A and B are shown apart, each in its own frame.
Chain A
């Protein structure tokens, strides 16, 4: 049976020690095994103390973003064979976020930034009895935005996000553009007030790591460009 070495960053807050790397052998028991299958195998058969998040195991709940061989991705939709280099996979927690245990990071600050941008529909006109109308073309503008799963792969891959603790980050900015660009929404101005700040949209220097990192194929940089354009249009 073929096996792959998983080199995993271990951290136990109770141990008092520094993070360290530990090697495990994962047996490839079926074709198409995902990184999550490997982590489960380790925990179920070798070391029950390994901690990581997971739930849907199909790439929609956003629990299991980690860093594999230097790139952020979801363990449940990443084939081991695609990422293994010379029979080895190096797995670390998402970078730039506080550690809780092993591959589990603290997302409080990441989520606080998401909450800050008012990520919900804001309307002033009273709702009609039926649905609000939206043309297919208007609705299509939300494609590539509403699918965000809040996995934090993008923000934790962004050097500007690492460097500026107050930067809202690509995830929050993509999510706020999802509402500004929604034909039903009337909250653009109050959101743009929040975003027109050097910790807001202007902190993005189009490094594009977020685009590379997004497991859903979304483009936060494009959304941020939309915000910047809206901010400029508002000024002039």
Chain B
């Protein structure tokens, strides 16, 4: 076997890891400046961006007057003040231009009667600093992510971007603290590939797959954050995970917030619109963390629906079949396939579902990866960039607003690609690789392939995801999180002795899932440690035993470092409260 596990080396200028929205946008930008390649675990249009439904937020003012300052205010408030205001200002100001650019690339946006881009209402988005309603989400029916991902890929074809599809990244190569490539595994044929690059941009997506009930694809296993932690870099704010209020009961698949944006609402078993009580002003269009807790409280209070009383109902039939089929055709299909419900006639059973990773690889607003330097101050890791859900800029803080995810991909993908391109252009040659470059990644694969097959891996992965859901879900407590830590230690020990059943090289899914499980364990350890330490409730992190936000103690970002032996060490850094050109949005109580 080892004969075919030889090492192939490639030299590229700029290397993008991941071919979702952020990766493709970055590749387009860097590719205009320097030799650029993209490596991706899946063929680009299979990336998880494809599942995004409701839209991309931008203050285009197509429906009523809007302003990026309103968008910025909503984003800061939505983040429960944990978002960095310089990055948020940058994102909201850039938003209209990235949307127009996508239209010019050919994205088939839905249209208003006058031919401009259709915009719809979305949770947490307001005008005039919380005082009015706004239609800010630019949408292609309820398939905006699909339309975006395909449009970007088409643009990449037009531009001639070079792709290495079905390559799985094993290790980030740092030489004296400078990024110089990655080691990857060729999934189709088997074999190691060393991509020797002048700069690397990580756009590897989120980690919400670590929970059992999730809207996320199989591939969303936190690879980027885990690989950074293994390279000695921190991850940031991983305990902040968004539970989307409306996942399909029993399956977890997403039912977009656009359903409520188009007039849908939630009901408990008594037919009460309970969100009118939880959030008197915004009601069903309050932020996702608020609505998710609303549903979970109904279930906990015995007012859930169904024989087990464990879900809520999402009603949309009253807006009429024609509107549903025009604006929410994908939702109709998903509800029919996964819940057996015709939503033009009946409500959809829904539960909160693990949806979005606010945390990730720490970056500044230029998408440059940052880490505490020797003197403790934040320093840039030369040549290393991150964008999209893999990164933590942090524009979403403790809770992301709907439509800000696709926006994040475009704004920081573009900015990161541009920054990386300029950096690569300024580097005259490649750094020499050390003898040991890639040895950790190769050792991991050899351990999994060469060891005896002791047990099937699936049950371990499923148990991990169940444990995360039971002990680290919508509601968290000290005792639950302590119990989780114990279970994680057990799972880590089991994983260390595990090897895969499939010993072949060609399309070894068993191997890939084992590598993913290793990444998930690292991410879960950081989530659990961060959640246990954070004795407050903020955004997506809710502690039953500390139900209030504590700005004096916890208005700060968590940094988690992987220690030898699998432990996690924590550090903290301040939230950047100073925007670029406008006044800071001061800490305030968050009410909807």
Contact = CB atoms under 8 A, between A and B. Distances in A.
B218 A54 contact: yes
Contacts of A54: 218
A62 B253 CA distance: 16
A45 B501 CA distance: 11
Contacts of A119: 154, 157
B104 A132 contact: yes
A48 B504 contact: no
A120 B115 contact: no
Nearest to A217: B333
Interface stretch (B39-47, B77-85, B302-310): B39-47
B45 A62 contact: yes
Nearest to B103: A131
Interface residues on A, range: 35 or more
A43 B217 contact: no
A150 B456 contact: no
B337 interface: yes
A55 B46 contact: yes
A43 B504 CA distance: 15
Contact of B155 (A40, A120, A129, A142): A120
A141 B48 CA distance: 26
A30 interface: yes
Contact of A139 (B110, B157, B254, B459): B110
Nearest to B154: A120
A147 B45 contact: no
Interface stretch (A84-92, A99-107, A153-161, A203-211): A99-107
B456 A100 contact: no
B151 to A, nearest CB: 8
B280 interface: no
A222 B380 CA distance: 54
A102 B508 CA distance: 11
B210 interface: no
B150 A14 contact: no
Contact of B143 (A56, A77, A79, A147): A147
Nearest to B501: A48
Contact of B100 (A12, A131, A150): A131
Nearest to A77: B337
Interface string B512-556: 000000000000000000000000000000000000000000000
B506 interface: yes
A58 interface: yes
B456 A48 contact: yes
A121 B154 contact: yes
Contact of B217 (A56, A121, A139, A147): A56
Contacts of B251: 32
Given A55-B42, A100-B188, A139-B108, A60 B50 contact: yes
Contacts of A60: 50-51, 143, 146, 330
A136 B112 CA distance: 7
B106 interface: yes
A182 B43 CA distance: 25
A51 interface: yes
A52 B508 CA distance: 9
B46 A61 contact: yes
B507 A61 contact: no
B457 interface: yes
B115 A182 contact: no
B109 interface: yes
A44 B509 contact: no
A58 B147 contact: no
A59 B337 contact: yes
A131 B116 contact: yes
A57 B509 contact: no
B510 interface: yes
A132 B50 contact: no
B504 A12 contact: yes
A229 interface: no
B183 interface: no
A156 B552 CA distance: 62
Given A133-B115, A146-B108, A184-B106, A14 B154 contact: no
A130 B100 contact: yes
Contacts of A52: 509
Contacts of A46: 456
A13 interface: yes
A149 interface: yes
B158 interface: yes
Nearest to B330: A60
A115 interface: yes
A179 B154 CA distance: 11
Interface in B130-166: 140, 143, 146-147, 150, 154-155, 157-158
Contacts of B432: none
A56 B143 CA distance: 14
Given A55-B217, A100-B506, A101-B507, A44 B51 contact: no
Q: Which 7 A-B pairs have the closest CB atoms?
A: A44-B458, A121-B106, A48-B501, A133-B115, A120-B154, A48-B510, A49-B502
Given A50-B509, A139-B108, 6 more contacts: A48-B500, A56-B218, A120-B155, A121-B105, A131-B116, A139-B109
